[in-house]
Structure 1
């Protein structure tokens, strides 16, 4: 098994674990990002209010609506990202005299990996946004599954509607670029002094994701707005129109709706991801090495 695939598998595993543990925060942030006018039956004044109202009306399970597609999406996103990032990293190292990427090389590798991830996984996040934020006045009504929502989107809006929000998603390639560049550069600096452990990866992941999400959050919000159904809001087809619509209807502060829960979720997800990914990578390498050694050992 190639090293690229080991990185991809460990990234996918870390992504799935981190998303499941932090999903309620993402759910709340998504709902705050797309809530419309004051006539909505479920209008939230903030993060705490959203938690209380959802649990009171729908139960604790409401915090995990759409978790299946989110876990799948994060696993695939991280698997794809790590595969293409490692592919790019190795290409740069082949023509470099250094054992580590410099800042520019990290940016280019991250841009390529991020663009591939956005294009491949956008349909999963469109489905997740629809499932997680769909309103229901009847708390006992059965929830739409991710697969059923996927079929509905294709049937009602066409196959290519699964790439709604792809423009801000491609702009958001800068998010993992900032995140992984900060992470790689900090890791390279600290590795000069000591061997890093799980807590180090947790903290480095938290710091890098905090910076990336704080800078790019308005684009995250606009992407979510573009991914929901046209009938649920005034539609817009460009990022610039999105900025204009949100500012005119909600003010500049509207560009940061739900940022508190999203920042916390993003930081925890990234921290858990980097910590578990490194552990899973080392475990997978040992397992692959053990299996290879067993196969190579002659039998008598």
Structure 2
């Protein structure tokens, strides 16, 4: 069986582990990204304030809203991405030479585009679950008290209210954000190939490489992450609050919230992204060795 399958399985496994370890940071950054009005009484003033308010109002489970859909989403996302990335990478790496910068960009573009088109519905569901506020206040009116919905209930709610097309909301900024993993994996591959000439890479090296490459990628693409998150929510009926396109969203955020609106939640997002990528690359390398051994053993048994 091809190593590409092993890369896909280990990438999915590494993604699940890293997602579980960092998910509260995803919840916090997602809610800060979609928050338009910071003057409301329940508005989050920053990352720590968001943690405190979510915990007080929703309990510890509030920090893990949508975790099931996120685990499923990251497993599918990483599985597809690594399969296409490694397949394309092998086409370029003939004669054991490392990929050039241009080849890394091409591999990332192919893998990222395929991943976005398949997984966007999963992340629409996850974004709505993660950003939905609920309350533990028993005295609050049932009419104004949002109910905590599971994955299936959220999917049905989206279909009933907005139709199937809404599962591809935010697809344009998501496709633009393919540049994020392109930057990430290009930086990763280029630094990795240089270090490998000097020494054998260990788990700590992969951890640091994942952190550095993701820091560069997320820091340079963050405004599109904010726009994508907002477009994946149910769009407002008010013309001024609805984003018709990526460019329209960009203009409205700057007009209504200033340039700072494009970077809401960036601190917690950078921390989450860097840690997620670091854990992902580290655990993927570990899992890859076990996956290859398992698939080889299974093949012999069959």
Which residue of the partner structure matches residue 115 of structure 1? 113
Aligned ranges 1:1-300 → 2 under 5 Å: 1-38=1-38, 40=40, 42-93=42-93, 96-139=94-137, 142-231=147-236, 234-295=241-302
Distance of 1:16 and 1:79 partners within structure 2? 11
Give RMSD over aligned pairs.
Answer: 1.6
> Does the residue aligned with 1:208 lie in a helix, a strand or coil?
helix
Distance 1:41 1:121 in 2: 35
Cα offset, 1:90, TM superposition: 1.6
Question: Residues 36, 232 of structure 1: CA spacing in aligned structure 2 closer, same or farther, 3 A cutoff?
Answer: farther
Q: 2: distance between equivalents of 1:249 and 1:208?
A: 32
Provide the C-alpha distance between the structure 1 equivalents of 2:47 and 2:234, rounded to a whole number of angstroms: 23
The separation in 1 between residues aligned to 2:263 and 2:98, in whole angstroms, is 36
Q: Distance in 2 between matches of 1:90 and 1:78?
A: 18
Asked if the contact 1:73–1:121 (Cα under 8 Å) also holds between the matched residues in 2, the reply is: yes
CA 1:225–1:37: 2 relative to 1, 3 Å: same
Residue 267 of structure 1 aligns to a residue whose secondary structure is helix
Q: Say whether the 8 Å CA contact 1:41–1:137 is kept in structure 2.
A: no
Give how far 1:292 is off.
3.3
Could you tell me whether the CA contact under 8 Å between 2:58 and 2:135 is conserved in 1?
Answer: no
CA drift of 1:264 comes to: 0.3
- Contact 1:7/1:281 (<8 A) preserved: yes
Structure-2 separation of matches of 1:74 and 1:288: 22
- Contact 1:8/1:79 (CA < 8 Å) preserved in 2? yes
Q: TM-score, normalised by structure 2?
A: 0.93
1:230 is paired with a residue of what secondary structure?
Answer: coil
